[in-house]
Each structure stands twice: as C-alpha cells, then as structure tokens.
C-alpha cells in the first residue's frame, strides 16, 4: 500500500482542500517512485507498457491529448493503444517512438501484440 506521509497542508479556512492536495501529492510521489523502477527494463506486457507510457508522459509533462496531437491522431487512439484494445494496436510502435523508447526494450512485448 502507499506510504503515509505526515504532511498537513490544511488550515481551518480551506475546508479540507489542503488535505486533499497532500493526498494527491503523496500519490503522485509514490507512483513516480514505483514507475522509476521501469527505467532501463524490458517491457513484456500491456501492464508494463501502460506504466512505461504513463511514466514517460509524466517525465515529459504531457497529457494523452498533447501526445496524440504531436502524433497527428486523436486521444482515444492513444488510450486504446495503452490499454491494448485492437483499434489501438497500430499506434503502439509510433507511440514508443514518439516517447523516445528503445525498440530493443519492447521486442518481447511486440511479439505478443
């Protein structure tokens, strides 16, 4: 489970919004920490591909919509590629290339697609 942090950003006047912000910050920190383990590792399945893709997007500070615009396609195709839907399969290799992936790290994964 996620590590609990003792940071308290709330004040009496924020109606608990500060607490919510701290929860989101803690979640993102933990997500990035776990995703960091994916660097320089082979991607073997869609779960690892989704984690790799989301990590790269976080590192680049882009959304699926911005990534799709850079690739000249719609955001739905990016989502479909990440989740392994048949309609998104033709976007997997361009997605890896757009995010600067090393194709050798995806050989096993691409053989299963």
The answer on pLDDT for 5 being more than 50 is no
Quick one: 106 and 55 in the same domain?
yes
H helices of the chain, in order, are 17-35, 46-60, 64-71, 75-83, 92-98, 107-112
Q: What pLDDT is recorded for position 12?
A: 54
Q: Are residues 30 and 66 in the same domain?
A: no
Are residues 51 and 97 both part of a single domain? yes
57 or 18: which carries more pLDDT confidence?
57
Rounded mean pLDDT of 57-67? 92
Check whether residue 89 and residue 57 sit in a common domain: yes
What is the pLDDT confidence band of residue 111, given thresholds at 50, 70 and 90? very high
| Model confidence at 13: pLDDT above 90 | no
Q: Are residues 56 and 33 in the same domain?
A: no
pLDDT at res. 35:
60
* Residue 4 pLDDT class (50, 70, 90 cuts): very low
Q: CATH number, domain at 79?
A: 1.10.260.40
What is the number of domains present in the chain? 2
Range of the domain at 48: 39-112
The pLDDT tens digits of the residues spanning 41-58 come to 789 999 999 989 998 998
Residue 63: pLDDT above 60? yes
Same domain for 25 and 44: no
Residues 43 and 9 in one domain: no
Whole-angstrom distance, CA of residue 17 vs CA of residue 11: 9
């Amino acid at each position: 489970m996620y590590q609990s942090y003792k940071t308290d950003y709330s004040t009496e006047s924020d109606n608990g919004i500060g607490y919510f912000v701290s929860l989101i910050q803690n979640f993102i920190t933990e997500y990035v920490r776990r995703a960091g383990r994916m660097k320089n590792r082979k991607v073997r399945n869609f779960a690892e591909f989704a984690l790799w893709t989301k990590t790269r997007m976080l590192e680049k500070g882009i959304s699926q919509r911005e990534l799709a615009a850079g690739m000249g396609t719609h955001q739905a195709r990016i989502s479909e590629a990440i989740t392994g839907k048949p309609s998104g399969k033709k976007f997997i290799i361009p997605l890896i290339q757009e995010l600067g992936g090393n194709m050798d790290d995806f050989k096993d994964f691409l053989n299963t697609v």
